[in-house]
Structure 1
Amino acid sequence: GLLVACFIAAAMSTFDSIINSTAAYWVKDIYQAYIKPEASNQQLISQGRLASIFIVGLGLIFSFNITNINDIWGWLTLGLGTGLFIPLVLRWYWWRFNGYGFAIGTGAGLVAAILTKAVILPFLNMPQLQEYILFLVPSICSVLGCIIGTFLTPATNLEVIENFYRVTRPFGFWGVVSQNLPTNLQVKIQRENRRDILATLIAIPWQLVLFLMGMMLMMKQWNNFGVLLLMFILLSIGLYFTWFKHLDKIQR
């Protein structure tokens, strides 16, 4: 019963977060930004509710054409998810990337994923290549959309980018921005980035071990649970010295 409750909670948390985040994109990024900037709070709330109803209804309509969970899951993760994943990652690594590039890249990936599923895959007689095609076509279209949309539109104000860089201190192609900062701050950010790389190598197995500990506890595999607990403690110590120790009081 506890395991079933966990599955239901995981499904519902994913379901409502996707609906709410999608409605928020419509309300904040489109409706309030371009359609009605002077909208009241009540109008924004109404738009959010209508957007949520529309999203759920659209999902129900699409569900009637789905024969098994593997088809829709593969399309969501490899096809549709790629169109959003690439712009989300690119914004942290490229200083020139702007909102227009994000929107066009996301839209290009979305359209490519839908067309690939509806037009290309039904006529592809090689089932073993379907998942590759479903991933490659939206990925390429999303990358091209990001690049074209970014270079065809004005760059973001450099002061805004510098403030973003100072706060987030990301990796990647930020030389144009970082060269304007004081030398001591550049060195500090580079040192922090190196620590983050090391912390990431520890954090990934830490998260995996934390997940496996729950499984072993539910299955009453006490020997395995003990080994995982020891690994969890050692990895936690490593995370403390490579990451948590260097956070300031506000971040903690």
Structure 2
Amino acid sequence: LPEAFQVSVPMRDGTFMALDTTREAWTSVWPSWELNLPAGSGYSIYNLFGIAILFYLVKVTIEGAGGTSQYMIQRFFASRSDRESGLLSLFWTVLLAFRWPFIAAIAILGIVFGTQSGVIEDPEAVLPIVINEMVPIGIKGILVAGLMAAAMSTFDSTVNAGAAYWVKDIYQTYINPKASEKTLMAHSRWASVILVVLGLGFMLLINNINEIWGWITSSLGAGLLVPTMARWYWWRMNGYGFATGTVAGMVAAVLQRLFLPEIPEYFAFMIATSASLVGMIIGTYLAPPTEEKVLLEFYKRTRPFGFWGPVRKKIKGEVMEKINKENRRDIIATFFAVPWQVVLFLTGMAVIMKRWDEFAWLGVILLALSTGLYFFWFRHLSTEVKVTD
């Protein structure tokens, strides 16, 4: 990268504005607390960049505390033990570590192209322009095929999961419990078609990816965060609480989009999560508790920490001591795992950006965190606590 160059940001009126920046500002691992993006830019909500980072840290922490969900949980259902689930998590994180250097490489190539042929106005056009103009034939085909495969694998998993929600969780559970396999298959196919059509129709209403992505992840998706997390840590949580919390959060997100579309993502997030929390608590207490037998079986299998007092009393004292020890170890491991993942991603990006000074100390930190993660998590994967009583 040159020492100084220009990048382009989209404006709310549909135009674009070129901004001056520097190599140091672009490649530094330590972000600025504040940015100076123009007020009319679609990215101006990130001017308080430090707050935005803290917001995403809180959001991702809540997501992580709730465990995996949606279509990704299918991968963990296929594992046979805690050890396999742990290894799957490790493998998945390592695979994700290749994504961020790839994104950084595309961004850098886009900047280089801009210095040679003029700044790329639309940030969403950087990827196709880089692939078309700067990637050699052969590699270009492999890259496009890989991107299409990644997109399709996510797309079909999402569609299949959405159809399964309708067929298994709604239609077969509440509408037609005695439905035949042929009927269920028909509903699955029609649900898949309807989901795709709705998605394509919704796409026509969106001006740019950044606009809708922020709302989906920080507002609409926030309706799921609180119920998804509470199901692991609160014994009183039940299906009705999960449903009402999710619906309340999503309704609040839609209303926010209609009446307060310009507010920052972190305010939208707080609106959706607050509504979700209130809805979840109301729905939970309006319905009876889950059967004790079900709760006990769930606790024996998952052994979560949190508010499980009435269930814990049913477990033998010596077994609970082992579970408490396991819980404490997992909590400590979390303080190694989260920064380990961030540093792993940043280390690869430092290589792409040729910031060898930052790569050196990131490597040292990564090694230290890996050591802690090994002693508090990895080596204990085979010592799963078995609750048999």
Bucket of the pairwise TM-score, normalised by the shorter protein: 0.7 to 0.9
Match status 1:155 vs 2:303 = no
For structure 2, the 5+ residue unaligned runs are 1-139
Out of 60, 64, 69, the position equivalent to 2:209 is 69
Superposed CA deviations along residues 61-117 of structure 1, whole A, max 9, x for unmatched, are 222222222221121011111101111111011100000110111111111111211
Report the TM-score when normalising by structure 1: 0.85
Which whole-Å CA distance do the structure 2 matches of 1:137 and 1:44 have between them?
37
Q: Secondary structure at the match of 2:260?
A: helix
Correspondence for 1:168: 302
Which whole-Å CA distance do the structure 2 matches of 1:250 and 1:168 have between them?
10
Which whole-Å CA distance do the structure 2 matches of 1:168 and 1:116 have between them?
36
Q: CA deviation at 1:121?
A: 1.5
For structure 1, the 5+ residue unaligned runs are none
Out of 260, 265, 275, the position equivalent to 1:121 is 260
Q: CA deviation at 1:223?
A: 6.7
Q: How does 1:1-252 map to 2 (within 5 A)?
A: 1=140, 8-118=148-258, 120-121=259-260, 127=262, 129-216=263-350, 218=352, 228-229=362-363, 231-248=365-382
Give the direction of change, closer, same or farther, for the CA distance of 1:212–1:48 in structure 2 (3 Å limit). farther
What letter matches 2:234 in structure 1?
A: W
What letter matches 2:260 in structure 1?
A: L
Q: Secondary structure at the match of 2:232?
A: coil
Q: Between 2-11 and 163-172, report the one with greater CA deviation.
A: 2-11
Which whole-Å CA distance do the structure 2 matches of 1:103 and 1:20 have between them?
20
Which whole-Å CA distance do the structure 2 matches of 1:70 and 1:16 have between them?
22
What letter matches 2:278 in structure 1?
A: L
What letter matches 2:373 in structure 1?
A: L
The count of aligned residue pairs is 245
Which whole-Å CA distance do the structure 1 matches of 2:288 and 2:272 have between them?
25
Cα RMSD between the aligned structures?
A: 2.6
> Contact (CA 8 Å) 1:104, 1:145: kept in 2 or not?
yes
Structure number with larger C-alpha Rg = 2
Q: Secondary structure at the match of 2:284?
A: helix
Report the TM-score when normalising by structure 2: 0.57
Which whole-Å CA distance do the structure 2 matches of 1:221 and 1:5 have between them?
30
What letter matches 1:240 in structure 2?
A: Y
Give the direction of change, closer, same or farther, for the CA distance of 1:179–1:250 in structure 2 (3 Å limit). closer
Superposed CA deviations along residues 120-140 of structure 1, whole A, max 9, x for unmatched, are 215xxxx4x443442222212
